[in-house]
Amino acid sequence: MRFYQTSWLLALCIGTIINASDILEVDLVFPRNETYSPTEWFPIVFAFQNAERARYLNPEITYTFWDLDNANNSRTRIHDLRWTNWIGQDTFYAYHYYGYFKEEGRWRVRWSLSWQSCDEDAFESHPLSADMINNSSTWSTWFTLQSSAPKVDLVAATAKKTCPEEYGMAINVTDKTMEVPMWVTWSGGDYTNDTCAVVASSTPTPTPDPCRVHIDKTIVASMEASLKSDLCKGIDRPSDCPEDKNNAAHQLAVAGISCLLAAVGALGFFLV
Ligand SMILES: *[C@@H]1O[C@H](CO)[C@@H](O)[C@H](O)[C@H]1NC(C)=O
Ligand SMILES: *[C@@H]1O[C@H](CO)[C@@H](O)[C@H](O)[C@H]1NC(C)=O
Ligand SMILES: *[C@@H]1O[C@H](CO)[C@@H](O)[C@H](O)[C@H]1NC(C)=O
Ligand SMILES: *[C@@H]1O[C@H](CO)[C@@H](O)[C@H](O)[C@H]1NC(C)=O
Ligand SMILES: *[C@@H]1O[C@H](CO)[C@@H](O)[C@H](O)[C@H]1NC(C)=O
Ligand SMILES: *[C@@H]1O[C@H](CO)[C@@H](O)[C@H](O)[C@H]1NC(C)=O
């Protein structure tokens, strides 16, 4: 008897997990509010969990990092995700390696996620005056670079069992999509065939769980391969670049994202 009850409970739990698949979650995976040792190439990694749900939302991540000891030393980057192939992606990583973190210091990171969704009621009942629903959300964190601290290790950093919710944003994206009325201006429309998704106004809002993202060695290897392939295309080529121009680093499962450098005057630091 007990056994059957347990099975039922299990079945219920599985049911909840499946329902949760309408939830898109976007997390800052690395860095967190911790201390790391300075490194030549320091990653900043965002994860889209259940990434396929991002397909019609035109998401964009903008972030700025500041040197807390020199406010002039700051950079702003944008992850331009418009050309991302979201289909079939379970977890999608938007990441970039930076060469600014070679010395000890304290840094602040502030990031914003913006997205747009259909205004279901307006599109249906008064489309002429309808508009997209714009949303965005901003968070920030700090991190410290200190020579005595552990080395940057994405696998260890994401193996933790607890991590604060404020590193993530969960969006309940329904199955319903709509055609954006022709006269509504929406930059995302060019990439979605003018299709938007309806976001549920669910209360309470779903709770993000950034701890579900676990970066494994394979993912790190492909991120590093993508970094290396970028470096090998640059001016200061590392000595161990492959001669073969058709190297496969670009075809790896984890796609690196091209970022736009928004900070003026930072070109000297930019890895080409
Ligand atoms: C960051 O960590 C420090 C020390 O663990 C803590 O005092 C501080 O409140 C944390 N800040 C945030 C934003 O989590
Ligand atoms: C920051 O920039 C301002 C204006 O350009 C300058 O006056 C100031 O000295 C700079 N501060 C540092 C710490 O470099
Ligand atoms: C959403 O943002 C777009 C572009 O910034 C703007 O044209 C539109 O009016 C905004 N919609 C609302 C409802 O604020
Ligand atoms: C998104 O924007 C709508 C309309 O401005 C607002 O009602 C809603 O609370 C926002 N949702 C989130 C998650 O910020
Ligand atoms: C774009 O949407 C229109 C209208 O919904 C549809 O007729 C057309 O087939 C779609 N095109 C693509 C490439 O999906
Ligand atoms: C997402 O929204 C749908 C439709 O409003 C609702 O049935 C479902 O319970 C929501 N899911 C979560 C996890 O809030």
**DSSP tally for the chain: helices H, then strands E:** 5, 11
Q: How far is the CA of 119 from the centre of ligand 5 (A)?
A: 20
The CB of 265 under 6 Å from ligand 2? The reply is: no
DSSP classification of residue 154: H
Smallest CA separation from ligand 1 atom 8, residue: 33
Amino acid code (one letter) for 262:
A
Residue 27 has pLDDT above 70, yes or no: yes
128-182 pLDDT, tens digit each: 999 999 999 999 999 999 999 999 999 999 998 788 777 899 999 999 999 999 9
Which residue has better confidence, 236 or 10? 236
210-232 pLDDT, tens digit each: 888 999 999 999 999 999 988 98
**How many Cβ atoms from other residues are within 10 Å of residue 263's Cβ?**
14
Tell me the two tokens of residue 121: 């009621």
Do residues 181 and 204 touch, judged by C-beta distance below 8 A?
Answer: no
Pick from 247, 245, 248, 270: which is nearest to 259 by CA?
A: 270
Residue 16 has pLDDT above 60, yes or no: no
| Predicted local confidence at residue 244, as pLDDT | 57
35-91 pLDDT, tens digit each: 999 999 999 999 999 999 999 999 999 999 999 999 889 999 999 898 899 998 889
State whether the Cα torsion 159-160-161-167 is positive or negative.
negative
Q: Which residues, 6 or more positions from 67, have their beta carbon under 8 angstroms from its beta carbon?
A: 73, 74, 105, 106, 107
Q: How far is the CA of 176 from the centre of ligand 6 (A)?
A: 12
Pick from 115, 152, 118, 200: which is nearest to 34 by CA?
A: 152
**How many Cβ atoms from other residues are within 10 Å of residue 193's Cβ?**
9
Edge to edge, the sheet with strand 168-179 lists: 91-98, 42-49, 23-30, 168-179, 195-199
| Predicted local confidence at residue 250, as pLDDT | 42
Smallest CA separation from ligand 5 atom 14, residue: 193
Query: What is the percentage of the chain residues whose pLDDT exceeds 70?
Result: 82
Between CA 57 and CA 188 the distance in angstroms is 7
Provide the mean pLDDT of the chain. Answer: 82
In the chain, domain spans: 20-232, 242-272
Q: Which residues, 6 or more positions from 20, have their beta carbon under 8 angstroms from its beta carbon?
A: 206
Amino acid code (one letter) for 236:
D
CA distances from 128 to 124, 133, 183 (A): 10, 15, 8
Closest ligand 2 atom to residue 72 Cα is 1
Probe residue for ligand 1, chosen from 28, 107, 142 as the CB with the greatest number of ligand atoms within 8 Å:
142
| Predicted local confidence at residue 256, as pLDDT | 36
| Predicted local confidence at residue 206, as pLDDT | 85
The CB of 122 under 6 Å from ligand 4? The reply is: no
Q: How far is the CA of 100 from the centre of ligand 3 (A)?
A: 35
State whether the Cα torsion 65-157-53-94 is positive or negative.
positive
Predicted TM-score (pTM) of the model is: 0.81
Do residues 226 and 271 touch, judged by C-beta distance below 8 A?
Answer: no
